[in-house]
Amino acid sequence: MSALSWGLDVSTNKTKTAAVAIDWSNPGEARVVDVRHPLPATDIAPLIAEHKTNRWAVDVPFGWPDLFVALMADRHHAPLPAHAMPAAAAWEKWRTREVAQRRTDRFLTDDPHIKTRPLPASFQLLGATAAMWVLVEAQLVSLGVRVDRAGLDGTVCETYPSAALAAWGLGKAKQTWSELQSNFAFLTADKNLLSRFVSDDVCDAVVCALVARARDLELTIGPPDDEVAAARREGWIHVSCEHRELLVQTD
């Protein structure tokens, strides 16, 4: 297990992309020791490669829904055939759930404890961020960093701060640095970094780094066995419902 965990909050706007490193080497303490903000997209893969022995949790969709990918490929050549059309009463569900949501999105939406619906990578502006990750992923592979979109192996896993906070029972809203310190009593930072936490992007990256630690401790929820293959195409959002104090366990 690494002494450092990294969180990355990705945006197509380089002024809103942030990476944060947390040091867990002191018992009972999680200290933010590095903040990279703003972070250009072209600098993401080299940074991850430089710290590839550490766990990373990244707020970006690692892929698209299987149905969406198949639909776009098939429809590029011809209209949707009649036998593939949903019944009129099911159009809304087909569009907003079956086409728009990955399996991990449906899990987080339906879970009675988390109840968080991620923005769909196939629609809205998030698609632009997902497309940017395609380039980062390719660059990571070229730099020798293994990428498993299911987050079960390799250096990186996907997460979503709103869902992560909800899973920890903290609501879905973005949190300030003082709120994070209140909810994660073991969380501190080097004094020279305190001014960086005025950015909600940096604070989101802190949440991602906390999830990376949870993943390192095998405290996050992975895909069911029968959905692992799909998660390795679509991506899987890692969150943890375990008690937050377990993040600083030393055993």
DSSP symbols for 213-231: HHHHTT-S----GGGHHHH
Integer Cα distance of 200 and 203 in angstroms:
5
Residue 230 pLDDT > 80, yes or no?
Answer: yes
User: Which pLDDT score, from 0 to 100, does residue 153 have?
Assistant: 96
pLDDT score for 116? 98
125-149 average pLDDT score? 95
Residue 171 has pLDDT above 80, yes or no: yes
Residue 61: DSSP 8-state:
-
Q: What is the pTM of this model?
A: 0.96
Domain ranges across the chain: 4-14+40-75+92-248
| Whether pLDDT at 251 is above 70 | no
Q: Give the pLDDT confidence score for residue 123 in this predicted structure.
A: 85
